[in-house]
């Protein structure tokens, strides 16, 4: 199981022989911005490619590389198919998918008023909660958790020729990835799917240390989520985050962690008793030296550069039966950061790879057309 494998990583990473530098002790403390700045600079200095205005470094072999990654995700989906049913390549287990509303903060600054944040009007949305793995695990296993927002009624120049009016922002319970780019991530995903994480950790001790730090078991869905990878925010580059509004429950509702699906029970119990509120913020890039766009593991320091509140995401009160019906409907959606408009273009190697990889995953699994405003 993933929890067992990651636990073994904690024992082995300090003794690993690897070309990577020796990892810091495995703790829950994030790296300092000075440490991240040094690592970001070394990583980007070794890349070969053309740098654009957003800080991306476009590698010359990306088309072929991404085609191979798209084929790989389909291979892993087939490997992990349960009872002949193909699931998402990532975030296969969904806790729930709720109707929601984005309520812009009227006091948000002008620097944030682009794209979906330009208007003061509220927007309908769907929010999906999930585990990160491409297979269904018990909710008390070590894993990242996902918070994916699909906004409706978004007009503008589309990133995909899909005729849709949606904007997706994908978040997890970690501020950045544990690996540096999409190639490394797919290597990790393959090892996880095949039950070979310990071997992967021996070869990648630094990434394994990050993974252990970022996947502590959770006891509630009341937590903070980050996009990890950056997006355009009009003329700027930014990451997004959501966190619980003041007054929200801070303990699991309706079930104990012994229940293998306690996060689903927790979510359905909370929305059955009232609206559930998350603040939404953006972190606009200020320090290019330690706020890398291209390096997926770059953590943008929130002390030096805090998130700016731009609104709230409010999950609508629903009965448990209504919430389950919504989840059944929403489970057929395809969540992809490239479902959106140019003012929120996903940036970085990881996001560029997501375009063909997520499309390949959705096509193999089967999905419905993008939803419309209701």
The answer to whether residue 213 sits within a structural domain is: no
- Find out whether 134 and 349 touch, Cβ atoms under 8 Å: no
Number of separate domains in the chain? 1
pLDDT of the chain along its 374 residues, tens only?
444 444 444 433 333 333 344 444 444 566 787 887 888 889 999 999 999 999 999 999 999 999 999 999 999 888 888 777 887 867 778 899 999 999 999 999 999 999 999 999 999 999 999 887 767 778 888 788 899 999 999 999 999 998 999 999 999 989 999 999 999 999 999 998 888 989 999 999 989 988 888 777 676 677 899 999 999 999 999 999 999 999 888 788 888 888 999 999 999 999 999 999 999 999 999 999 889 999 999 999 999 999 999 999 999 999 999 999 998 888 889 999 999 999 999 999 999 999 999 999 989 988 888 888 76
- Residue 56 is part of a domain; what is its CATH number? 2.40.180.10
- DSSP result, 282-341: EEE---TTTS-SS-TT----TTTSPPEEEEEEEEPP--HHHHHHHHHHHTT----TTSSB
The answer to whether residue 34 sits within a structural domain is: no
The answer to whether residue 228 sits within a structural domain is: yes
Q: What is the CA radius of gyration of the chain?
A: 20
The answer to whether residue 12 sits within a structural domain is: no
Distances from the Cα of 16 to the Cαs of 11, 64, 203, 205, 305, in angstroms?
10, 32, 7, 6, 34
The answer to whether residue 184 sits within a structural domain is: no
The answer to whether residue 112 sits within a structural domain is: yes
Phi/psi at 301 (5° precision) = -60, 125
The answer to whether residue 206 sits within a structural domain is: no
Could you list the residue range(s) of the whole structural domain that residue 106 is in?
Answer: 39-175+218-365
CA distance 217 to 182: 25
Q: What is the pTM of this model?
A: 0.89
Distances from the Cα of 116 to the Cαs of 151, 155, 311, in angstroms?
9, 9, 11
The answer to whether residue 210 sits within a structural domain is: no
């Amino acid at each position: 199981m993933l929890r067992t494998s990651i636990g073994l990583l904690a024992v082995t990473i300090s003794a690993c022989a690897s070309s990577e530098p020796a990892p810091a002790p495995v703790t829950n403390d994030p790296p300092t911005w000075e440490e991240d700045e040094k690592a970001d600079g070394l990583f980007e200095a070794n890349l070969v490619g053309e740098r654009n205005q957003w800080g991306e470094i476009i590698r010359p072999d990306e088309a072929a590389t991404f085609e191979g990654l798209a084929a790989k995700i389909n291979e892993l989906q087939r490997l992990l198919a349960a009872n002949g049913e193909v699931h998402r390549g990532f975030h296969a287990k969904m806790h729930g998918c709720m109707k929601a509303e984005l309520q812009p903060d009227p006091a948000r600054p002008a620097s944030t008023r682009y794209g979906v944040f330009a208007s003061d009007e509220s927007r309908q949305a769907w929010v999906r909660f999930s585990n990160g793995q491409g297979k269904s695990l018990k909710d008390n296993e070590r894993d990242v958790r996902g918070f994916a927002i699909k906004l409706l009624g978004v007009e503008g120049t589309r990133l995909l020729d899909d005729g849709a009016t949606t904007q997706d922002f994908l978040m997890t319970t970690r501020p950045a990835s544990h690996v540096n780019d999409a190639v490394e991530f797919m290597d990790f995903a393959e090892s996880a799917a095949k039950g070979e994480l310990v071997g992967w950790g021996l070869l990648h001790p630094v990434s394994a240390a990050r993974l252990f730090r970022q996947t502590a078991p959770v006891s509630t869905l009341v937590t903070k989520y980050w996009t990890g990878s950056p997006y355009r925010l009009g003329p700027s580059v930014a990451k997004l985050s959501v966190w619980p509004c003041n007054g929200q429950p801070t303990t699991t509702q309706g079930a104990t962690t012994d229940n293998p699906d306690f996060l689903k029970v927790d979510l359905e119990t909370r929305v059955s008793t009232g609206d559930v509120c998350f603040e939404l913020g953006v972190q606009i890039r200020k320090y290019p030296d330690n706020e890398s766009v291209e390096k997926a593991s770059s953590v943008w320091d929130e002390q030096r550069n805090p998130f700016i509140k731009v609104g709230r995401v409010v999950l609508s009160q629903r009965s448990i039966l209504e919430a389950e019906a919504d989840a059944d409907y929403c489970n057929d959606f395809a969540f992809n950061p490239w479902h959106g408009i140019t003012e929120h273009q996903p940036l970085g190697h990881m996001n560029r790879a997501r375009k063909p990889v997520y499309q390949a995953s959705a096509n193999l699994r089967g999905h419905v057309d993008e939803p419309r405003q209701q």
